[in-house]
Structure 1
Amino acid sequence: MTQFRPCIDLHQGKVKQIVGGTLRDDGPGPRENFVASAGAGEFAGMFRGDQLTGGHVIKLGPGNDEAAREALAAWPGGLQIGGGIHSGNAREWLDAGASHVIVTSWLFEDGRFSEDRVKELVEKIGASRLVIDLSCRRTAQGWTVAMDRWQTLTDLDVTSATLDRLAPWCDEFLIHAADVEGLCGGIDGELVSMLGAWGGRPMTYAGGAASMADVEKVQVLSGGTVDVTVGSALDIFGGSGVRYGELVSWNRR
């Protein structure tokens, strides 16, 4: 059955909800839907109190390490951590309380997927502690993994064959649909259907969920094999489409 998994997105040390496609290393900052007054630890503590496991903390750029550590300390073993993770620091973040590390960009060299890098990471921490993030954008090929905070397309398309290839090296997949991330315009149903038809590893879909109908749609389209996160539409992040309490109840049904 599809479960709700919480998220804590960090940008410049604050919990934020942003429009994913507006992240840039140069030019104006990203379009922000919400900036929390509460710290990352407060959100993590709430998720802990409601026994929401398997959520993720994503560091969007520099200046977020302190806030990330605060979240992990508030819910040790209950959250995954992503953003700037590589073989040299993965163990450090697991020791800080993360259940898993989430990795995208470091698995690529000059935009090309590196088997050597994923093998190096697995040797350091084991496949059981690794989540591979296949954040992707719509392309002529269907969906293509985008690295560097969704700015740079890689040589890796999101297909059943790709999932088969990567599955032995990870415990889970996280899939951000970057083109709809933060827009509250509905999920990418075609992507969810494709992921659900594969179903070879636990996976979480993120992007565009605007209502409980979208959460239900993920369950239907994936046959209950894909979990979902809700960001900008959620009331605790300033949204009006979904109430946090509804999602907690959904998980307990």
Structure 2
Amino acid sequence: MSTNSRRTLFRPCIDLHNGQVKQIVGGTLSDHDPSTLKTNFVASQSPAEFAKLYKDNGLVGGHVIKLGPGNDNAAREALAAWPGGLQIGGGITDKNASEWLEAGAEKVIVTSFLFPEAKFSVERLKSISSAIGKEKLVVDVSCRRRGDKWLVAMNKWQDITDMEVCRETLDLLSEYCSEFLVHAADVEGLCQGIDEELVAKLGEWVHVPTTYAGGAKDISDLDLVQRLSGGRVDLTFGSALDIFGGELVKFGDLCARNVQDSQL
């Protein structure tokens, strides 16, 4: 795929933890020991205020992720502020997916439901895809590196599954979904750079829209992801961003860059 056929764009996010918008170091979430949690930022603004900010700047394809319980009301608030403008993930199943679409989500994002006992179930994938339609489903293949492989991690990135992120699994998944979201959990929230090797592999492997999150720390990372993925992968900025208390990247600069690249 030529690099000029599509541009890597900035995709926004709203991460919810205990009902608040936060930026969390991805590898520190734990059900067993809450004291390990490292939080980079807790917003004073409501989820709806962030959703409205994204709406006002024409940012599409953003994701709202519910990290654990106690986030449903906050998520509904964000979706109501921009109906049809945000995707929703966290605790999504074939039973509740339609409810979240009715609440205003553009698409639903699923991970843990597909991995009962941390083992991939193609039956569950088919079930949720059939329930809402392939075009409304995003599969989150957030992963952790193990040796020279990336393995899908579920349950707030705590539990490693039996699925390797590779061409074959992405081909299979893309038969039943319209998009991928990929958090590189090992570098999430660290602002120490993206997983360049993973982004390059995603550029080789994916055939549906894909958003990568984890480690972005400079606006030039958009150019890096563009080069590594051939424009097949979009990029989320989190803890580095000024609207999340960061000092490395300005939200306004990313919005201007999106406008510029969308016109190319």
TM bucket (normalised to shorter chain) is over 0.9
Aligned partner (choices 102, 106, 111) of residue 109 of structure 2: 102
Alpha carbons 2:242, 2:248 under 8 Å: kept: yes
Alpha carbons 2:196, 2:228 under 8 Å: kept: yes
Aligned to 2:255: 248
Aligned partner (choices 19, 29, 43) of residue 25 of structure 2: 19
Aligned to 1:124: 131
Give the whole-Å Cα distance in 1 for the aligned partners of 2:221 and 2:58.
22
- Structure 1, 196-205 or 87-96: larger mean CA deviation: 196-205
Aligned to 1:89: 96
Give the 3-state SS of the residue equivalent to 1:66 in structure 2. Answer: helix
Give the whole-Å Cα distance in 1 for the aligned partners of 2:248 and 2:227.
19
Aligned runs of 1:159-198 on 2, under 5 Å?
159-198=166-205
Deviation at 1:141, TM superposition (A): 4.6
Alpha carbons 1:141, 1:157 under 8 Å: kept: no
Give the whole-Å Cα distance in 2 for the aligned partners of 1:205 and 1:8.
14
Alpha carbons 2:170, 2:206 under 8 Å: kept: no
Aligned runs of 1:59-78 on 2, under 5 Å?
59-78=66-85
Deviation at 1:197, TM superposition (A): 1.3
- Structure 1, 209-218 or 54-63: larger mean CA deviation: 209-218
Give the structure-2-normalised TM-score.
0.95
Aligned-partner residue type, residue 29 of structure 2: L
Give the whole-Å Cα distance in 2 for the aligned partners of 1:238 and 1:169.
37
Deviation at 1:183, TM superposition (A): 0.2
Give the whole-Å Cα distance in 2 for the aligned partners of 1:80 and 1:97.
9
* Paired residues, number: 253
Deviation at 1:29, TM superposition (A): 5.2
Deviation at 1:56, TM superposition (A): 0.2
Give the 3-state SS of the residue equivalent to 1:113 in structure 2. Answer: coil
Alpha carbons 2:12, 2:237 under 8 Å: kept: yes
Aligned-partner residue type, residue 87 of structure 2: Q
Give the structure-1-normalised TM-score.
0.99
Aligned to 2:3: none
Structure 1 alignment gaps of length 5 or more: none
Aligned to 2:165: 158
Identity across the alignment (%) = 60
Is 2:155 the counterpart of 1:134? no
Deviation at 1:90, TM superposition (A): 0.3
Structure 1 runs (4+) greater than 3 angstroms displaced: none
Aligned partner (choices 200, 204, 213) of residue 207 of structure 2: 200
Deviation at 1:188, TM superposition (A): 0.2
Structure 2 alignment gaps of length 5 or more: 1-6
Give the whole-Å Cα distance in 1 for the aligned partners of 2:61 and 2:157.
22
Alpha carbons 2:167, 2:205 under 8 Å: kept: yes
Give the whole-Å Cα distance in 1 for the aligned partners of 2:112 and 2:48.
26
For residues 13-41 of structure 1, give each alpha carbon's deviation from its aligned partner in whole angstroms, at most 9, with x where no partner exists.
Answer: 00000000000002115100000000000
Deviation at 1:102, TM superposition (A): 0.2
Q: Structure 2 vs 1, CA of residues 239 and 209 (structure 1 numbering), >3 Å: closer, same or farther?
A: same
